[in-house]
Amino acid sequence: MADRSATPGPLIALRGISRIYGAGETEVRALDDVDLSIDDGEFVAIMGPSGSGKSTAMNVIGCLDAPTRGDYLFDGVNVARLSRDQRALLRRHYLGFIFQGYNLLPRTSALHNVELPLIYKGLGRAARRDAALRALAKVGLAERSHHDPSELSGGQQQRVAIARALAGNPRVVLADEPTGNLDSHMSVEIMEVLRDLNHREGLTIVMVTHEEDMAAYADRLIWMVDGRIERDAPTKRAA
C-alpha cells in the first residue's frame, strides 16, 4: 500500500459500486451505483432504515464482501480487482473492526483478547504484548489488562474491543453499531473514546449506527435509502 503522505485523492473511494443478490424477480440491489469518497482522518457515520444498504456498504469497505460491479479504491489500490487472499491481507494489515457484540473470548484476559489478531500478523510474543498494552492504554484500560470480560462492564468490554481494533495500527477502523448494546451513559463514554482517537491519533473511522445522537459525534453523516446515498453532509458538530 502506498505511503499515506504520497497518495493523492481520498483514502476510500467507491465508484459506481453495486451489490446485487439473486436474479430476475428475486434480485435485490443492496447497493445501487454508489459513489462515496472518505478522506484520511475523517470520522464518518452511515445511517439509514433497515435494508438501506448501510451494512452492505460497511462490508464492502471492510473487504468482507465484494461488489457485483464498480470500483473500490483503498489508498489508490483497486480492491475490486484483488483476489480473496489479497483482500484478506488488506483487512489484516490496514483495517480494524469494532462490533456491537464486542466478540471477546470470555475466558481470556483483556490483554490476550487484544493480542489475538496480532498473532495472525506474525508478531512475536514481546511485540504483541507491547502493542496490546499500548492499545489498552489509549482507551484507558491499562490497569484492567489482566481482567476477563466477565469482570468488566459493558463499556469496558467495548473499550477492549476498540483496543483490539487499534493494536494492529490500522489506517481505518470500521465500527458496526458500537453502542448498540450499551446504556446511554456508556454509549457516550464509547463515542468520546472514538472521537478522541479520531482527533488525537488522526484515525479514520467509518461507523454504522441507527442512533442520531451517536452519529452526531462524527464529522459527516451519510444517509442511505434503498441502496443509494440520499444525503451526505457535515454534522452539526463539524459545521
Three-class SS of residue 167?
helix
Indicate if the pLDDT at residue 238 is higher than 70: no
Name all domains of the chain by residue range, CATH numbers in brackets.
39-63+84-234 (3.40.50.300)
Q: What are phi and psi of 8, to 5 degrees?
A: -75, 160
* Residue carrying C-alpha cell 452492505: 56
Q: What is the rounded average pLDDT of the residues 112-141?
A: 92
Amino acid letter at 86?
A: Q
- What lies within 8 Å, CB to CB, of 99 at 6+ separation is 161, 176, 177, 178
Cα angle, residue 94 at apex, residues 89 and 202 outer, rounded to 5°: 180
Comparing 24-28, 38-42, 43-47, which segment has the lowest mean pLDDT? 24-28
pLDDT of residue 7: 55
Q: What is the rounded average pLDDT of the residues 174-202?
A: 94
Amino acid letter at 18?
A: S
User: In the Cβ-directed half-sphere of 84, how many Cα atoms lie within 13 Å?
Assistant: 1
User: Is residue 220 within 8 Å of 42, Cβ to Cβ?
Assistant: yes
Q: 43-76 pLDDT, tens per residue?
A: 999 999 999 999 999 999 999 999 999 999 999 9
Kindly write down the DSSP assignment for every residue of 41-80, as one continuous string.
T-EEEEE-STTSSHHHHHHHHTTSS--SEEEEEETTEEGG
% of the chain exceeding 90 in pLDDT: 81
Q: 189-222 pLDDT, tens per residue?
A: 999 999 999 999 999 999 999 999 999 999 999 9
CA dihedral 55, 58, 64, 67 (to 10 degrees): 90
Comparing 130-134, 148-152, 234-238, which segment has the lowest mean pLDDT? 234-238
pTM over 0.85: yes
Indicate if the pLDDT at residue 148 is higher than 90: yes
Q: 155-173 pLDDT, tens per residue?
A: 999 999 999 999 999 999 9
Cα angle, residue 118 at apex, residues 61 and 167 outer, rounded to 5°: 70
pLDDT of residue 239: 56
Q: 108-125 pLDDT, tens per residue?
A: 999 999 999 898 888 899
Q: 82-118 pLDDT, tens per residue?
A: 998 999 999 999 999 999 888 899 989 999 999 998 9
Distance CA 198, CA 8 (A): 21
Name the residue among 215, 223, 166 with its Cα closest to residue 187. 215
Averaged pLDDT of the chain? 92
Distance CA 70, CA 19 (A): 9
